[in-house]
């Protein structure tokens, strides 16, 4: 009889535990290039401490990440939480897709462990907090110290120096009459606006929302066009080159400089060893401009259990877990303690990132920014590079987008 009672009690307990186990399900969308995909470890760790919440993490390919996110929101099938970038925030707010996390954030003990100012930086335009920072980078210039030494060149600090250095680096190294090394790997396809912005938006009074059609603004775009058409310092495939192409070309020694962030540093070191280093981007038109690469997580307004969703994103931005997360993405942690103990990248790349922060800028918080990034910039830049339109026309098209 006692045995029966025990069994009954045990099964009742199991049922309760089972029911509790299924209490909340949080769907999370993210994008990792890393094939090892260590998110499973993070999920297991989270579920062990939060047995009443189960996490359903889905890796969405980066190229169509936002297309899928927006359509899933409108289609009513959005995830509960997602990795998000700042440029998308105005559009997501306009869609009413984000849930404010101010109250939950106020009660979260670990908020003070985040690096200073980051929470403010990602605050929504309407004053609410929607985003929880999870990683960051700043773009800098990758260069080949061995090639620079061979030719007696210094790392360029201005666009004029950059122009001369890039020209010297573009050469035929084996004497077959073919160019083997190009000075700079320019990203002409989607995502390359950061390269163009370095050469264009550094000038005084020039930004995406003003001064783009001034002489100084047009000069920046013209500088890029001339580097390709007149000086031939970009590989001929530059108009179509995306992330894979510029990184691949740099690793194989096809290009001597390019612009990207610390996320690709370990791969570069694997391929080139000590023959790769980094420095802040050159100052162009009198000022320095580089992109601040942000990544946050957010709770979506359609989430059923917002507390559980917040617990998950807070977990990713807390001590130790944030290191695990950035191990996967190769970017830099937002938690002070994790940043202090950071050993996952060679120091020279961390230094270059920190030295670039001063010049790091965000794209304007405007719903037009998405179109700028996804279609307007790539198409116009490509048309300039292949000589279909002029630099003035390109800048006018971008200005029109932001003033419409």
Partner 1 sequence: MRHRFSDKTELHALGRRVLPYAMLSPAVLVTLAIVFFPMLQTTWMSLHEYILFRPNDFHWVGLGNFKAALNDEVFWISFGHTLIWMGITIPAQLLLGLTTALLLNQNFPWRPIARALIIIPWALPSVIIALMWVWIYDSNYGVANEFLLRLGIVQKAVPWLANPDTALASIILTLTWQGFPFFAVMILAGLQSIPHSHYEAASIDGASQLRQFWHITLPGISGVVVTAVLLRLIWVANSFDVIFVMTGGGPGYSTYTLPLYAFIKARTNLDFGYGSAIAVLFTLLLMVFVIFYLRRMRRMI
Instruction: For residue 366, state whether it binds partner 1 (rule: CB under 8 A).
Output: no
Q: Does 171 help bind partner 1 (rule: CB under 8 A)? A: no
Q: Which residues contact 227 (CB under 8 A, 6 or more apart)?
A: 163, 166, 184, 186, 233, 234
Minimum gap (Å) between residue 241 Cβ and partner 1: 7
Is residue 239 a contact residue for partner 1 (CB under 8 A)?
A: yes
SS3 string of 221-259? HHHHHHHHHCCCCCCCCHHHCCHHHHHHHHHCCCECEEE
Residue 238 is a binding residue for partner 1 (CB under 8 A):
yes
> Is residue 374 involved in binding partner 1 (CB under 8 A)?
yes
375 binds partner 1 (CB under 8 A): yes
Q: Which of 11, 71, 173, 209 binds partner 1 (CB under 8 A)?
A: 71
Q: Provide, rounded to whole angstroms, the least separation between the CB of residue 89 and partner 1.
A: 12
Instruction: Compare residues 74 and 151 and give the one whose CB is closer to partner 1.
Output: 74
Examine residue 237 and tell whether it contacts partner 1 (CB under 8 A).
Answer: yes
Query: Which of 110, 388, 400, 403 is the binder for partner 1 (CB under 8 A)?
Result: 388
Q: Smallest distance from the beta carbon of 332 to partner 1, in angstroms?
A: 29
Q: Of the candidates 40, 58, 94, 274, which one interacts with partner 1 according to CB under 8 A?
A: 94
Q: Does 44 bind partner 1 (CB under 8 A)?
A: no
Give the binding range for partner 1 (CB under 8 A) out of 53-61, 69-77, 163-171, 286-294. Answer: 69-77
Which range in 3-11, 90-98, 321-329, 336-344 contacts partner 1 by CB under 8 A?
90-98
The answer to whether residue 241 forms part of the interface with partner 1 (CB under 8 A) is yes
| Binding status of residue 385 toward partner 1 by CB under 8 A | yes
Q: Give whichever of 188 and 282 is closer to partner 1, judged by the CB atom.
A: 188
In the complex with partner 1, the residue whose CB is nearer, 336 or 383, is 383
Q: Is 173 in the site for partner 1 (CB under 8 A)?
A: no
Kindly give the pairing relationship between strand 131-138 and strand 290-299: antiparallel
Q: Is 152 left (phi over 0), alpha (psi -120 to 50) or beta?
A: left
Q: Does 188 bind partner 1 (CB under 8 A)?
A: yes
Q: Should residue 400 be labelled a site residue for partner 1 when binding is judged by CB under 8 A?
A: no
Residue 130 token pair: 């929607």
Q: Specify the residue, 254 or 348, whose C-beta has the smaller distance to partner 1.
A: 254
Residue 401 within binding range of partner 1, rule CB under 8 A:
no
In whole angstroms, how close is the CB of 287 to partner 1 at the nearest point?
29
In the complex, which residues of this chain contact partner 1 (CB under 8 A)?
A: 67, 70-71, 74, 91, 94-95, 177-179, 188-190, 235-241, 248-249, 252, 254, 367, 371, 374-375, 378-379, 382-383, 385-386, 388-389
């Amino acid at each position: 009889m006692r045995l029966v009672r025990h069994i009954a009690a045990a099964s009742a307990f199991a049922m309760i535990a089972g029911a509790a186990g299924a209490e909340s399900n949080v769907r999370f969308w993210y994008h990792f290039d890393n094939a090892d995909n260590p998110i499973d470890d993070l999920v297991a760790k989270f579920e062990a401490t939060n047995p009443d919440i189960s996490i359903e993490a889905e890796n969405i390919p980066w190229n169509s990440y936002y297309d899928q996110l927006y359509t899933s929101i409108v289609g009513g099938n959005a995830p509960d939480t997602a990795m998000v970038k700042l440029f998308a925030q105005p559009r997501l707010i306009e869609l009413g897709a984000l849930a404010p996390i101010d109250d939950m954030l106020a009660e979260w003990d670990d908020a003070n462990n985040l690096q200073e100012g980051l929470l403010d930086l990602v605050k929504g335009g309407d004053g609410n907090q929607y985003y929880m920072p999870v990683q960051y980078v700043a773009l800098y210039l990758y260069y080949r110290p061995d090639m620079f030494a061979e030719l007696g060149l210094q790392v360029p600090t201005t666009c004029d120096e950059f122009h001369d250095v890039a020209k010297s680096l573009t050469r035929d190294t084996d004497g077959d009459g073919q160019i083997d090394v190009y000075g700079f790997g320019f990203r002409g396809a989607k995502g390359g606006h950061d390269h163009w912005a370095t050469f264009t938006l550094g000038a005084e009074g020039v930004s995406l929302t003003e001064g783009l059609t001034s002489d100084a603004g047009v000069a920046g775009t013209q500088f890029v066009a001339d580097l390709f058409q007149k000086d031939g310092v970009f590989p001929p495939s530059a108009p179509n080159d995306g992330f894979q192409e510029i990184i691949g070309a740099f690793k194989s020694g096809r290009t001597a400089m390019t612009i990207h962030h610390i996320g690709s540093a370990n791969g570069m070191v694997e391929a080139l060893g000590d023959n790769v280093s980094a420095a802040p981007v050159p100052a162009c038109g009198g000022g320095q401009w580089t992109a601040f690469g942000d990544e946050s997580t957010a709770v979506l307004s359609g989430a059923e259990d917002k507390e559980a969703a917040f617990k998950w994103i807070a977990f990713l931005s807390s001590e130790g877990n944030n290191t695990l997360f950035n191990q996967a993405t190769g970017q830099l942690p937002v938690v002070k303690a994790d940043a202090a103990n950071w050993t996952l990248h060679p120091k020279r790349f961390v230094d270059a990132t920190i030295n670039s922060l001063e010049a790091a800028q965000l794209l304007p918080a405007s719903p037009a920014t998405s179109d700028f990034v996804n279609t307007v910039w790539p198409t116009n830049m490509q048309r300039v590079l292949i000589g279909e339109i002029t630099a003035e026309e390109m800048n006018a098209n971008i200005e029109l987008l932001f003033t419409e």
